[in-house]
Amino acid sequence: MGLDPYVFWRLTPREFHYISKGFNEKLLSERRESWDQMRLQTYYIYCSIPKGKGKRNPTYKQFCAQHIPMPWDRISKGERQGLYEDEQPQVTPQMWADKIKELSNAKSRQLGASEVKSI
């Protein structure tokens, strides 16, 4: 972070928290910017490859969503605070039970259809 020892020891915990938070946000924005530059270069290279007759290249947003999706693409402006937290949704036991029930119903329908075909 580039703090002198004298400055570091004179900081309060709150001041240090804000300095480290700002430093981390700066690093994340620099990293995101370099990834966005890489994606744009990749898109231009992808568009330079000839397609078949009558085929069009996807837009930049479509290309990013299909080929190189990034976590910050899914986050709207109002949800920036969740950027640093785990983005995986919490899985509850009820969600597991519903998924198992759904899969078992699909399997039983599939078995029922195969038995009808065999008769």
Is the residue at 82 inside a domain? Answer: no
Is the residue at 43 inside a domain? Answer: yes
The per-residue pLDDT for 38 is: 92
Is the residue at 81 inside a domain? Answer: no
Q: If DSSP codes are grouped into helix, strand and coil, which group holds residue 80? A: helix
User: What's the rounded Cα separation, in Å, for the pair 119 and 110?
Assistant: 15
82 pLDDT exceeds 60? no
Is the residue at 84 inside a domain? Answer: no
Q: What is the pLDDT of residues 17-40, one digit of tens each?
A: 998 999 999 999 899 999 999 999
User: What's the rounded Cα separation, in Å, for the pair 104 and 106?
Assistant: 5
Rounded to the nearest 5 percent, the helix, strand and coil shares of the chain are 75, 0, 25
Question: How many separate domains does the chain show?
Answer: 2
Q: Is 95 in the same domain as 68?
A: no
The per-residue pLDDT for 1 is: 78
Q: What's CA 108's distance to the chain center, in Å?
A: 35
Q: Is 105 in the same domain as 67?
A: no
Q: Is 16 in the same domain as 44?
A: yes
The per-residue pLDDT for 84 is: 47
Is the residue at 19 inside a domain? Answer: yes
Q: What is the pLDDT of residues 34-69, one digit of tens each?
A: 999 999 999 999 888 888 877 888 888 888 888 888
Q: Is 33 in the same domain as 70?
A: yes
- The parent domain of residue 36 ranges over 1-75
Q: Is 102 in the same domain as 48?
A: no
Please give the mean pLDDT across all residues of the chain.
78
